[in-house]
Each structure stands twice: as structure tokens, then as C-alpha cells.
């Protein structure tokens, strides 16, 4: 009798894990707008607007958006940018990005995965304060989909990047470009936040 009960409990546990994995029933974080500024005076989203798994967020010309994901992640979108919220699972926050410009900030144990056309990037922090600032990471990504090019730019901290088509993993500590082709090509690049028309976006992200 005991063996039969143990077998039934085991089967129920396995079934429960399969269901959890299939339907992503794990705890979710809330993704909501906390800033939306538009030069047209007609922002796309209202402050406090929340999003669900699978939704796409888009900005139009002259519009900047800052999204709060949970308590530890901020995601800012430049004008003419699209991102997809692929997962808001507490243990696997994941976005898809291919076009436009984003800035990601996380701290004190925050973690986010960013999928670009040919690579997967992970930004994570420690919950322990340290002089080396491992508890804070800031990075920007630029997607030139018309050129099949993605710029991966750590500003503070490290980005862990996987490129499956190259069977390659690396810690990105300085700006790189990934040519999104088969096979992808990785090359070093330079980044100056004060150069070009995008200076206005980076200045905006630093405003409180």
C-alpha cells in the first residue's frame, strides 16, 4: 500500500512539473510604465500601464519610455524601438530585441535575459554590495535590423553573451558589434554616449 501511494505521489509530482514548465505557472513580476515622454504630447502609454507575457512594446518618433520590471530592473526604450516581453517569470525575465535602442539597468540581485537575432545575453547582479560594483550593471543595445547588425555595449559591469551558431560564450566587457548573419561575425567597436542624435536619449534616461 505504501509503495503504491509513493508511486502515485511521484507521478503527480512529475506531472505537476511538466504542467509548470509547459504553461509557465511560476511567479511573475510586474512590468509597467513609469515614464513616457513624447515630443508630440501624445504618449503611446499612460503612466502605470502594465503589460503581460508575450506583449510587444513600441515607441514612435520623438518618444522615450522607461519600463519598471519587478523591483530591480529598469528598461528604457529610445524612439522607434520595439521589444517583446518573452517571459516575466520571476526567475527568468526575458525580452526579445532587434530594432532600435534600449538601455538596461539592474542592481542588488536583479537579472534579465535579452535575445537578439543571433545571440542571447544575460545581465545579472549580486545582492551583496561591493567596491567593484558587481551589484549594479548598466548596458545599452542597439539593433540595426536593416543592416543585420546588433551593438552590445556594457556601460557598467559585464554582459554574458552566448552565440549558438558559433558555439561561443563570452563575457563582454567592452563594446562589440555582432553581424547577424550565418555565421555571425563579432568585432570590437567604440561607443560615445555624447555623440550623435542619441545623446538626448541617454541624457533622458539619467533624469529622475
What single string gives the DSSP state of each residue in the chain?
-HHHHHHHHHHHHHHHHHHHHHHT-S-B--EEEEEEEETTS--SS-TT-EE-TT-EEE--TTEEEEEEETTTEEEEE-SS-EEEEEEEETTEEEEEEEEEEEEEEEETT-EEEEEETTEEEEEE--SS--TT-TTEEEEEEEEEGGGTEEEEEEEES-EEEEEGGGTEEEEE-S-EEEE-SSS-EEEE----TTSSTTHHHHHHHT--
Q: Which of 91-100, 126-135, 188-197 has the lowest mean pLDDT?
A: 126-135
Q: What is the reported pLDDT for 96?
A: 98
State pTM to two decimals: 0.85
The 10s digit of each residue's pLDDT in 128-168 is 555 444 578 999 999 998 899 999 999 999 999 999 999 99
Q: Which of 5-19, 89-103, 142-156, 192-206 has the lowest mean pLDDT?
A: 5-19
Average pLDDT rounded to a whole number, residues 97-103: 96
> What is the fold, at CATH topology level, of the domain defined by 28-205?
Jelly Rolls (2.60.120)
Average pLDDT rounded to a whole number, residues 12-23: 49
Amino acid at each position: 500500500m505504501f509503495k503504491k501511494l509513493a508511486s502515485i505521489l511521484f507521478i503527480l509530482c512529475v506531472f505537476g512539473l511538466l504542467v509548470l514548465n509547459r504553461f509557465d505557472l511560476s511567479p511573475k513580476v510586474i512590468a509597467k510604465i513609469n515614464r513616457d515622454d513624447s515630443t508630440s504630447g501624445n504618449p503611446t502609454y499612460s503612466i502605470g500601464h502594465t503589460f503581460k507575457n508575450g506583449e510587444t512594446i513600441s515607441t514612435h518618433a520623438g518618444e522615450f519610455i522607461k519600463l519598471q520590471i519587478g523591483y530591480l530592473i529598469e528598461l528604457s526604450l529610445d524612439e522607434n524601438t520595439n521589444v517583446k516581453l518573452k517571459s516575466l517569470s520571476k526567475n527568468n525575465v526575458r525580452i526579445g530585441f532587434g530594432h532600435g535602442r534600449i538601455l538596461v539597468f539592474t542592481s542588488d540581485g536583479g537579472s534579465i535575459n535579452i535575445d537578439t537575432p543571433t545571440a542571447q545575453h544575460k545581465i545579472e547582479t549580486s545582492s551583496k554590495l561591493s567596491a567593484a560594483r558587481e551589484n549594479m550593471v548598466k548596458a545599452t543595445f542597439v539593433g540595426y535590423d536593416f543592416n543585420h547588425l546588433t551593438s552590445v555595449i556594457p556601460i557598467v559591469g559585464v554582459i554574458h553573451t552566448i552565440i549558438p551558431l558559433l558555439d561561443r560564450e563570452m563575457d563582454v566587457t567592452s563594446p562589440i558589434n555582432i553581424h547577424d548573419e550565418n555565421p555571425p561575425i563579432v568585432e570590437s567597436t567604440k561607443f560615445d554616449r555624447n555623440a550623435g542624435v542619441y545623446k538626448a536619449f541617454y541624457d533622458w534616461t539619467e533624469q529622475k
